[in-house]
Structures are given as structure tokens and as C-alpha cells.
A and B are shown apart, each in its own frame.
Chain A
Amino acid sequence: MNIFPRIVFVLLGLFIVLNWGLIMAGIIRKIIARLGMRRGIKVFQPYINLIKNYSIRSQLSHGVMFYLGPVFRLSGGVGIFLFMPLIYGSDYWSNFSFTGDLILITYFMFFGMLGMALGAGEGGHPYSAIGISRGLAQFTAIEVPMTLAILSIAIQYQTLSISEIVAAQQGGIQNWTMVTNPLATIAAMLSFLGAMGHSPFNVVMAPQENPVGPPTEYHGTFLGVLQTNRAILHVIEAVLYMNLFFGGASNWGVLIIKTFLIYFWSVFVGMVFPRFRVDQSIPWFLKIPLVIGIAAIVVFII
């Protein structure tokens, strides 16, 4: 496909994902509130927040890196979007996934994290640095079961290309990785809990003790950029899991339903369990999820 139509489709896809991300955030928060016996916000509150933040006039900057932080962060989010095939069988919605495979996406996650960490770091607020150090430390452990799961499905399908993994799962629910490789799916979904940053793994941005963690110093447009990114990132991470374990999506409707359910899994767990400290969550990931992840590989070696 020519490059210009592709760019048009990419932008269109980005627009859909952003909007779905914002709406999903609103719905989720509404659900959380109702479960907590509160009325909760409006479903469109994320839109309102975004518009408000982008239109705030006072803009304060701590320096160049502080300025670049949100850019890195959003590039990270959008970048993953760009390298991710969205809809199975559709060349229009496969974005730039031809440049790199699954490994590219797993490593590109760090791009935004790093930029954000540096930007927040220049803000000079100790809470930012504390949040980042917690986040990074926790992330090392979260990645372990995820990596094992990725290795497991790479052995299973003998490919690292996401499109091919999705292709291999077509033809009904019995072909989904969830069914064919349940251990890897369990390991990955446990790791997903950590990646989404909901309770019990939300000590990074823990509102009660550590205002909001890394973005503490960000406001106005900067915060708007971060919120935009969060909306995109939540959807696109769910898309990743969908592609790897739940058969991918053959149209936008399936995509929206599946991503919602996947994302809701982390919210669901978060509603039930209290928060872990970092030194509790790391050993947690290195116990049961790790064992399951190893089992997922052992199954294929034997």
C-alpha cells in the first residue's frame, strides 16, 4: 500500500483508539464509583478534563527535559500504536507493523517510560522520583512472567510476528492461545495486572501517600498530553494482549469488546484487592506467575 493512504488510515485508527480510550476510561470510572456506592463522574468527564487541560493558559516549565518528557511519553504510546496491527486480515489497519515484530513493541514500551521518568525527574519533585523508582522496580518483576509467556507463544507458533500469531488463532475460539496455551495466557494476564497499574499494583501513583507519582509537577497542556497518551496506551496494551492470546479482532466491534473485557480484568481485580508495597509485589510476581510462566515453557520443551 502506498505511504499516503497508509498515513491517513493510521491517523484514523489513532483517532478511533483515542476516543475509545477516553470513553472506556469514563465507563470504568463510573463502574468503580458505583461499586463504591458513589454516583461517580460523568462518562464524558475524561473529554472535559482533556479540553480543560489543553486550554489552561498558565504554563510553567522546569527545563528542556521537563518539556520533552510528555513528548517522549506520547511518542511511546503512539509508537506502540504505530507498530501494532489492529484488525486481522486488514492491510488498512495494520499500521506500520511491517517495521518490527513483537520484540519491538515490548521494548518500545520503555521509550515512553524513560522519557517520562526523565521529564518528571527534571521537575525536581522528590515524589516524582520516588514514584519512578517504585515503578521501575516493580516493572522488572512484572516483565518476568510476561517474557516467559512471550517466549512460550513464540515457541508455540514459531514466530515473533504479531500478525502471524493472530493468523494462527483464527477459526474459532478453540484456536485461541487462551485455549491452546492456557499457562502462557495465565502468566501474561497476571503480568497484565501489574502493567495496568491498578490496585494491588498501583503504588507508583498511589494517590494517598504520593500525590500522583511521576506526573506530580505536570499541569495544563503537559498533563493533557499525558492524559491523551494514557487513553491510547490502555487501549493499545489491551490490543496487544488481545492479539497474542484472544484471537485478535477481525473488525472494530470485536476489538472494542475484547479490549474492554481485557482491561476490565485489571479493574476487577483492583476492586477486590488492597495495595501491595513494592517489596511485596516483586516477590509476588516472582512466585506463582513465574512458576506458571516456566511451566508454560516446560510444556513445550517436553
Chain B
Amino acid sequence: MKIFELENISMAAGFLLLMVGIWGIISQRNIIKMIISFSIVDTSIHLLLVSIGYIRNRTAPIIGEGVTKTDAATQITDPVPQALVLTAIVIGVGITALLLTYSLKLYRHNRSLEINHFNSLKW
């Protein structure tokens, strides 16, 4: 069955995690849990990206051990998504860090990490 090939599994897992993550952001009241959910969303997208770039029976797009410059095009997987994943991870880390900083600030202001304790701005 082709469905259970690696890239499909990883893509399915990616979508599943995406749902889990968004569900977590929406349903979890605790800010830390929301941030974790956000990280799950992030990860799920990384999984998706990787699965998109994967080409079966090929190796990582690194020139060296067994992959030479000349035959790289036939030997390696698509390098672009891999590069994208790297960038996305960095950005994800940045945003997560910023979110955590904000959670710290919020806690200092209100001694609470419940998202619905921060409703004073509304309407």
C-alpha cells in the first residue's frame, strides 16, 4: 500500500498535529499550554514541509559522502523545502520565545496565566 509510505505518513501526521495544535490554542485556557499548542502547530508545518520535499530513495541534499556535485540532481531530495524548514524553525523559535516573554510579563502583571483573565480590552 502506497498510502503508508514515509512521506504520506509524515504528511498525515503533519495535518493531524496541525489540528491538535489549533485545537489546543483554541481550547486551552492556560497561556503556557497555548504556547505549547502553538509549538505543535509549528512542528506540524515543519513536518508538512519536509514531506513535500521528500523524494523516495534519495539522500539528504548535502554534498559529500557519496553525493558528488555532478550527480547531485539525481541523488538528493529537493533541497528547497529543507532550507525552508530551517528558516521556519528559526522563526518559530523566535516567536515562541517572544510568546514566552509575553507570558512572563502577563504573569507579572496579573499573577495569572489564564487567558480569560486578560479581557479588559474588548468591544
Complex: A in contact with B (CB within 8 Å)? no
Residues of B within 8 A of A (CB): none
